[in-house]
Amino acid sequence: MHPSPAQCLLIATILAYPANLLAGSQGYPQHANVVDVTRAPYSAKGDGVSDDTKAIQRALNENVGWHRVLYFPKGTYLVSATLTWPKTFAKHDNWGKTILRGADRDTTVIRLADNTFTDDKKPAAIMWCGGFGSADWFHNYVENLTFDVGRRNPGAIGLQFYSNNTGAVRDCRFVAAEGSGAVGLDLSHRDMNGPLLVKDCEVLGFARGVTTSRAVNSQTFENLTLRGQSQFGFTNEGQSVSIRGLVSENAVPAISTYGRLMLTDATISGRKGGANHPAIVNFNGGLIFLRDVKTTGYKRALADLKTPDFAAAYRIEGEDKLGSLGPDLKEYSSHAATTAFPSRPGSLRLPVKETPSVHWETPTKWAVVDEFGADPTAKSDSATAIQKAIDSGATTVFLPGHYKSSSTIIVRGKVERIVGLGGHLNYGQRKLINFRIADGDSPTVCLEHFAHLGGGIEIDTKRTVVLRSMESHTIQGTPRSEGGEVFLEDVVGDNFRFRKQRVWARQLNIENEGTHLTNDAGDVWVLGYKTERGGTLAYTSGGGRTEILGGFSYTTTAGKLAPMFVNDNSSVWAFFGEVCYNGDPYAVMIRETRNRETKEVKRGDGPFASYSGVPTTR
């Protein structure tokens, strides 16, 4: 059902695993691109006593950037220096595309030796994930690991993660003993970090739990737990941040922010001492949208301060803006919404579904496409071999290299999951669809970890489709997909088109010039939407509903090409912004049609402010 009358709201600113694989661990079949750090030539011990620094560093040096997964079996890996992801090795330029994965975070620990990073004025990390001086460090993942900074290491950082376009920290824990630890997860150590996803992570201790900063490229969080920080739980210094499912238990403010923050579904509990502070601190006119935030044990829910001084949070209560006192915030926005027509206040509150969990089959049962004759170097055609693997009766199909395909591959039969290692299929070739997802035995099918699908994906079924951690030129539905459900998690691409489908997206990045996302008569819910180039970022028609919870347009070309949002007799709500450095930002923010009347909201038509020197409408 679609709300009546149709509405359009916008808030915008410018700006290979061993055969004896552990039961329950998420392993892979043995393959040259699957690297077990405990095996020769690396031979890390993981016994919690031996120093594994040199072994792990060698594994990183020789495998980062090669579209490989480094696997850490169950154990405690003791290190005594920062583990770094190299930019180059043996004249090989790394562009990221590296996966680190443990057996599971409860049993797989990278631990810093005690008394290693003792100077809190010179912080250093257990692991630094590298990158260039630009946003070209793609498709990096750290999953199923615990980072423990040990004792008497006040300058220790758990993980300094960096990735662009796609990348994620999933199911990780960051632990600091009392008096140890500067930052658990540091996403602020360099510029242009993101878009990226942090999901199902927990930070215990540290001065600050999570840090973010800079104006680009957006960071999305889902199911984040913060406990026992001594300064702030989460600090945002200018980034565009979207958070869903925050749990914080602290005696200090849970969040400090002066960038753009969207927070929904949060439970924030103040421990002893929390009553002296606000739960959330918004500094220096930062843009903030809060929904379904519950607080207890704090002086107030939100302090909105006109100072960039973080320490002021301990001395100033902040402005008593309408609805900010709490303790619970049903829906709060620091700035008014912009509408083309009169609309009811508040977000659409589309129903939210979690990304389905697809069974991880025992790796010995996987169909490895190379064993069916596929060429992992992409020199010869592999279409027939890949189709044979899919039709073999296996539920999981593994593509561990790069491949060339002369025809569209049909996903059907018993297949539940197709897994890559950040490889390519028809790199840069857009002439044919790479995968057509058709009807099959399983009600849910998942494709994941492809750094580039040149021709994209066509959904030709009503069954549930999950696309995770991939770049796909296009994603589009056929009439046979109408009524189906699609889940996009950590996906980048061009020109996504959906008709009469229900779509849930987390960390979505669309970068083509022209219309980016089309929703025709369906429901599209997005947590963290980042875009590049000009053109309509969301076109909603046919009574569809589109809700965008956080993100921004990085307008690098042709901002005057089209309206940012087009709403044709439908419902749209967005907490969204813009950063433009080329002098060509969007000229029309909203074009909305109700019945037969069309109105536009142009830049400057509504209340506006300045960020990075460029005016904004809200």
Cα 425 from chain centroid? 23
**What are the structure tokens assigned to 357, written together?**
């969990």
Q: Tell me what the mean pLDDT of segment 424-442 comes to.
A: 94
Q: Is the pLDDT of residue 1 over 50?
A: no
Residue 303 lies in a domain: no
The three-state (H, E, C) secondary structure of 469-534, written as one string: EEEECCEEECHHHCCCEEEEEEEEECCEEEECCEEEEEEEEECCCCCCEEEECCEEEEEEEEEECC
Q: Tell me what the mean pLDDT of segment 2-18 comes to.
A: 35
Phi, psi angles (nearest 5°) of residue 191:
-75, 160
Distance CA 9, CA 2 (A): 15
**What are the structure tokens assigned to 316, written together?**
């100033």
pLDDT value, residue 555: 95
Instruction: Tell me which residue of 25, 37, 69 sits closest to 423, measured CA to CA.
Output: 69
571 DSSP β-pair partners: 7, 545
pLDDT value, residue 310: 53
Q: Is the pLDDT of residue 13 over 70?
A: no
Q: Answer yes or no: are the C-beta atoms of 156 and 129 closer than 8 Å.
A: no
- Looking at mean pLDDT, say which of 172-176, 187-191, 272-276 comes out highest: 172-176
**What are the structure tokens assigned to 54, written together?**
């040199």
Residue 496 lies in a domain: no
- The strand order across the sheet containing 83-84 reads 83-84, 124-128, 156-160, 183-187, 208-213, 232-237, 255-257, 278-283, 300-305
Residue 3 lies in a domain: no
Distance CA 354, CA 512 (A): 27
pTM for the model: 0.93
pLDDT value, residue 606: 62
User: Using the 8-state DSSP alphabet, how is residue 459 labeled?
Assistant: E
Q: Answer yes or no: are the C-beta atoms of 125 and 158 closer than 8 Å.
A: yes
Q: Tell me what the mean pLDDT of segment 232-260 comes to.
A: 96
**What are the structure tokens assigned to 416, written together?**
């539940």
Q: Tell me what the mean pLDDT of segment 222-240 comes to.
A: 97
Q: Tell me what the mean pLDDT of segment 146-163 comes to.
A: 98
Question: How many residues are listed for the chain in this entry?
Answer: 618
Q: Tell me what the mean pLDDT of segment 218-245 comes to.
A: 97
Q: How far are the Cα atoms of 159, 161, 169, 562 from residue 186, in angstroms, in the given order?
A: 6, 7, 11, 37
Lowest mean pLDDT among 295-299, 538-542, 614-618: 614-618
Q: Is the pLDDT of residue 481 over 60?
A: yes
Residue 165 lies in a domain: no
Sort 122 into a burial class: Cβ within 10 Å, 0-12 / 13-18 / 19+: exposed
**What are the structure tokens assigned to 56, written together?**
């792990």
pLDDT value, residue 309: 58
| Tens of pLDDT, residues 488-535 | 999 999 999 999 999 999 999 999 999 999 999 999 999 999 999 999
- For the chain, helix, strand, coil in percent to 5 are 5, 50, 45
Residue 55 lies in a domain: no
| Tens of pLDDT, residues 53-109 | 999 999 999 999 999 999 999 999 999 999 999 987 666 677 889 999 999 999 999
pLDDT value, residue 8: 41
| Tens of pLDDT, residues 588-610 | 999 999 999 999 999 988 643 32
Residue 523 lies in a domain: yes
The three-state (H, E, C) secondary structure of 50-94, written as one string: EECHHHHHHHHHHHCCCCEEEEECCEEEEECCCEECCCEECCEEC
Range of the domain at 524: 519-618
590 DSSP β-pair partners: 565, 601
| Beta carbons within 8 Å of 613's beta carbon, 6+ residues apart | none
Residue 587 lies in a domain: yes
The beta-carbon contacts of 15-18 under 8 Å, at least 24 apart in sequence, are 15/215, 15/240, 15/260, 15/552, 15/577, 15/578, 15/579, 15/611, 15/612, 15/614, 15/616, 17/71, 17/363, 18/73
Residue 588 lies in a domain: yes
255 DSSP β-pair partners: 234, 280
Instruction: Tell me which residue of 278, 240, 275 sits closest to 256, measured CA to CA.
Output: 278
Q: Grade residue 200 by pLDDT with cuts at 50, 70 and 90.
A: very high
Helix spans in 233-369 (H):
none
Q: Is the pLDDT of residue 558 over 70?
A: yes
Q: Grade residue 322 by pLDDT with cuts at 50, 70 and 90.
A: confident
Q: Tell me what the mean pLDDT of segment 580-587 comes to.
A: 94
| Tens of pLDDT, residues 413-431 | 999 999 999 999 998 888 8
| Tens of pLDDT, residues 367-400 | 999 999 999 999 999 999 999 999 999 999 999 9
Average model confidence (pLDDT) for the chain? 90
Q: Is the pLDDT of residue 537 over 80?
A: yes
Please tell me the total count of domains within the chain: 1
| Tens of pLDDT, residues 270-313 | 998 888 889 999 987 789 999 999 999 999 999 987 665 555 54
pLDDT value, residue 2: 35
User: Using the 8-state DSSP alphabet, how is residue 389 labeled?
Assistant: H
